[in-house]
Amino acid sequence: MAGGYDSPSPDYARNSIPRQPVGGRPPQQQIPPRGAAPQQRSMVMRPAKSPGGNQFAFGNIVGVSAMDFQEGEDMYLLLNGQFVVTAKAVRDFAQGNLGLTDAQRTWAGISLDPNETVEVQKYDPFQQGGQVYLAALDVMVGFAGRKESDAAYDQDDLAKIFTRTFENQMLAPGQILIMDVKSIPLKIVVQTVQLTDLSMEKGGEEGPTIGDSRARGIVTRNTTMNFSKEGRSKINLKASMTRPATNAILQPNFKFEDMGIGGLDSEFSTIFRRAFASRLFPPGLIQRMGLTHVRGMLLFGPPGTGKTLIARQIGKMLNAREPKVINGPEILNKYVGASEENVRKMFADAEKEYKEKGDESGLHIIIFDELDAVCKQRGSGAGGGTGVGDSVVNQLLSKLDGVDQLNNILLIGMTNRKDMIDDALLRPGRLEVHVEISLPDEAGRAQILGIHTNNLRNNKLLDGSVDINELAHVTKNYSGAEISGLVRAACSFAFTRHSEVGAMAKIKDPNSIIINRTDFESALGEMTPAFGVAEEALERCITGGIIKYDQTVHQILDSGKDIISAVRSHTPLLSVLLYGPPASGKTALAARMALDSEFPFIKFISPQAMVGFNDMMKVQYMQKIFMDADKSPLSIIVIDDIEDIIDWIGIGPRFSVTVVSAIRALLRQNPPGDKRRVVMTTTAQREALSQLNMLDRVFNAQIPVPNVQGLDALNRALAKGGMTDREAEQTMALVESEKGSQISVGIKKVLEAVQISQAVDMKSEKCAEVLRAFMVSQY
């Protein structure tokens, strides 16, 4: 630096440029008025060393001769048509010389070569109008020489010194400044600027952040200063207590609905509160509170609910660098140590910037899809028995919360199987925030339908008969992906109506395509939710309908309604046992009550579905159904013929201990959160459950389902089952002649007898014959 650093003059640095009135421009006698004609005369000057020593060096002032300009005059000069500097005319400086400091010459690319010249002319920043003031300034700071200090530099104090020293000067990206702070020279390099277009220093509309060296603006006392540490410098910057971090987290005017994701308002609120809210506040305040930012979150839930979509769209809500997207299986590599190296590469950029800028570093987001593929429980054998899976987990743990902690990362992991992920990864300090992305409720489904039909509606391709709210009501337990598929399926039905398929496909009139209500009704039949109602299995259980031959049937159905109403309103779990003799209609009644509940999730577990399963396969099959039920706000699970599922054999007795233990646990386990569930179990071996101590310990209610008993009940069952009165009367007479009035037969057998007899002649005689074969003793 020309002149050295030994005797800076703070008073000169403060007063080298006359003060600018608040809200105004620099004094008119120094800067030509707005709109004035450009300076006609340009001068060719010789570069020379600065004439003012530390006064000019620390004030960023260019020295010129009083013989070339009026003595004492402060002005803006344009050098070589590109660089604007603040200059002062001084006496005893050679005419035609341009006194530049080392920093100024480096910035402008000017040497002290005797043959080099510089084209100089006065510069009026207001001539063209527009944005001429600096709203914000991003600078990089480090020590300017060998003289260094271990003291922490408060960024708020640095901002005050910077403004006091360089107020009213014009700065541009790439410009190099030397600033004296307590006799320690600091090197300041302008990185980016943000301009404002009003002469008033407050309230002006701010422009974008610019890194172009041609952008320049005037420093005011209201210019926001953002400091970051030079990469190789040992300077210790103390985080600001008043300013947010250098990089603002959220985009201006950001709205969640702009992300094109519906039904997840509460989840986004949780994500923002836990992961991003602390980053909006000044780093110094966060340090004073003794907090560290959340470094990881886990998004989990059923497939198709929008986990990956959320992670992809988070980049749009952040004013930060593009997130890194990692697919879990891509981490693994067949070479020793390569998988761990891939994990380290994920964090390399964040580590480099954190070493340079500390807490002022920008946020680095890493999106880790299919996390369960590589982060399974250690010791589980993940990675093909080589231990590579354990090594990957260990490496990830050390990066998230190891000895050298990073405070500028956010790892977003996604999985359908939270239970498979290593516990150490899920603790606070690592993947700390767990957000369940569950199936959308009715309001959420309406939002999603609105998003996916938006183009149809705007382009007038959606018929007025399509009611979004009605569709939202009938699409219970549809995921976001399934709703998207529903809209596509409806469009495909519309395409079919407007095409002629023959030797060659022909389109009737593409401009007349309208997606109507019928298209969506057809699509609903084709697109069924994975976590919905097993209607086909349940309808097979009641093919003959519910024959209300006796008041007992009404009472059973009413009891079921009361149980379902209790669960719908407040009770988290009720397990009900329907017991009775074989063919008494237990399964049909349970299926009817389940369908009438209109719960969004209903599943049917039967022994027929587990043919060929061993004990462990049965347990896993039932466990998955109960886990799926936990994803729905209301659910019903029907377990049919439980004695067959547990392999009950009365001689001995013998049964599967593993399956019995699993059923006990599943039936007594409350669903998570505010989810509610009904479990209906049927059995023809109530005594077996009694011997297994399951009646009182597992079931909240027990409902007996008796046979059709007595002549009157049988007569009504025959009539409601499809027989004419005359045929029923003849059948009753034939049955009574052999069995008398002590009749007990399952309703299912009655209906089977009616169906068989209707297929042959002599219906009454055939029905009576079949019924006599089906008769059982009183239960």
More confident residue, 678 or 151: 678
State residue 586's pLDDT score: 93
Burial of 668 (0-12, 13-18, 19+ CB in 10 A): middle
Share of the chain above pLDDT 90, in %: 29
Nearest Cα to Cα of residue 373 among 345, 410, 414: 414
Tokens linked to 663: 């059923």
* Radius of gyration in angstroms for the set of CA atoms belonging to the chain, rounded to a whole number: 40
CB-based contacts of 663, cutoff 8 Å, min separation 6: 622, 639, 642, 645, 646, 694, 698
Residue 464 corresponds to which amino acid? Answer: G
Q: Which amino acid is at 683?
A: T
How many C-alpha atoms does 99 have within 13 Å on its Cβ side? 28
Burial of 271 from C-beta contacts in 10 A (0-12 / 13-18 / 19+): buried
d(CA 462, CA 473): 19
> Which of 84-88, 248-252, 294-298, 610-614 is predicted with the least confidence, judged by mean pLDDT?
248-252
Average pLDDT over residues 604-615: 93
Dihedrals phi, psi of 159, to nearest 5 degrees = -65, -40
Q: Predicted confidence band at 155 (pLDDT cuts at 50, 70, 90)?
A: confident
User: Is the Cα dihedral 753, 759, 760, 764 positive or negative?
Assistant: positive
Query: How confident is the model over 180-207, as pLDDT tens digits?
Result: 998 899 999 998 898 887 554 444 556 6
Mean pLDDT, residues 241-264: 61
Rounded Cα–Cα distance for residues 730 and 746 (Å)? 20
Instruction: Please tell me the distance from the alpha carbon of residue 340 to that of residue 396, in angstroms, as a whole number.
Output: 8
3-class DSSP assignment, residue 327: strand
Q: Where does the pLDDT of residue 504 fall: very low under 50, low under 70, confident under 90, or very high at 90 and above? A: very low
Distance CA(618)–CA(332), nearest Å, equals: 33
Among the residue ranges 145-149, 346-350, 742-746, the one predicted with the least confidence is 742-746
pLDDT above 60 for 35: no
Sequence-separated (6 or more) residues with CB below 8 Å from residue 243: 155, 156, 159, 224, 225, 226, 282
Decide if pLDDT at 559 tops 80: yes
| pLDDT of 328 over the 80 cut | no
Please give the pLDDT value at position 162.
Answer: 94
Which tokens sit at 31? 């800067």
Mean pLDDT over residues 426-452, rounded?
A: 86
pLDDT at residue 759, as a whole number = 62
How much is the pLDDT for 505? Answer: 59
Backbone phi, psi, residue 66, to 5°: -70, -15
Listed ranges 176-180, 223-227, 379-383, 401-405; the one with the highest mean pLDDT: 176-180
Give the largest Cα separation in the chain, rounded.
141
Q: For residue 763, what pLDDT band results from cuts at 50, 70 and 90?
A: low
Give the residue among 545, 778, 552, 724 at the shortest CA–CA distance from 732. Answer: 724
- The pLDDT of 213-231, averaged and rounded, is 85
Section 147-161 average pLDDT = 87
> In the predicted model, what is the mean pLDDT of residues 632-650?
93
Return the structure tokens found at 247.
């990089």
The answer to whether the Cα torsion of 520, 521, 524, 525 is positive or negative is negative
Q: Which helix (H) or strand (E) holds 691?
A: helix 686-691
Report residue 276's pLDDT band, with 50, 70 and 90 as the boundaries. confident
pLDDT digits (tens, 9 = 90+) for 364-398: 888 888 888 778 777 655 555 555 667 888 888 88
Confidence at residue 260, expressed as pLDDT on a 0 to 100 scale: 62
* Res 113 pLDDT > 70: yes
What confidence category does residue 31 fall into, taking pLDDT thresholds of 50, 70 and 90?
A: very low
pLDDT in tens, 585-607: 999 999 999 999 989 999 999 99
pLDDT value of position 198:
58
Spatial neighbors of 427 by CB under 8 A, at least 6 apart, are none
Cβ atoms 720, 549 nearer than 8 A = yes
Place 8 in a pLDDT band, splitting at 50, 70 and 90. very low
Selected residue with higher pLDDT from 315 and 546: 546
Please report, to the nearest 10 degrees, the dihedral formed by the alpha carbons of residues 311, 312, 313, 318 taken in order. Answer: 80
Q: Which residues on neighbouring strands pair with residue 410, listed in sequence order? A: 365
Predicted confidence band of residue 215 (pLDDT cuts 50, 70, 90): confident
Q: What is the pLDDT of residue 39?
A: 47
Q: Collapsing DSSP states into helix, strand and coil, what is residue 688?
A: helix
Q: What is the 3-state secondary structure (H, E, C) of 450-473?
A: HHHCHHHHHCCCECCCCCHHHHHH
pLDDT in tens, 93-111: 899 999 999 999 999 999 9
Domains by residue range for the chain, with CATH = 10-122 (2.40.40.20), 133-238 (3.10.330.10), 256-436 (3.40.50.300), 442-526 (1.10.8.60), 535-706 (3.40.50.300), 709-774 (1.10.8)
- pLDDT given for residue 286 in this prediction: 75
Q: Write down the pLDDT at residue 403.
A: 53
Query: Given this model, what pLDDT does residue 17 score?
Result: 37
Please report, rounded to a whole number, the percentage of residues in the chain having pLDDT higher than 70: 82
Lowest mean pLDDT among 222-231, 250-259, 268-277, 418-427: 250-259
Mean pLDDT of the chain: 81
Q: Taking residues 530-543, report their average pLDDT.
A: 85
**Residue 306 pLDDT:** 81
Give 560-587 pLDDT, tens digit per residue: 999 999 999 989 999 999 999 998 999 9
What tokens were used for 751?
């209906």
CA 529/CA 440 separation, integer angstroms? 12
Q: How far is C-alpha 128 from the chain's CA centre?
A: 46
Query: Is 342 within 8 Å of 331 (Cβ atoms)?
Result: yes
Please tell me which of 75-89, 125-139, 243-257, 370-384 the model is most confident about, judged by mean pLDDT: 75-89
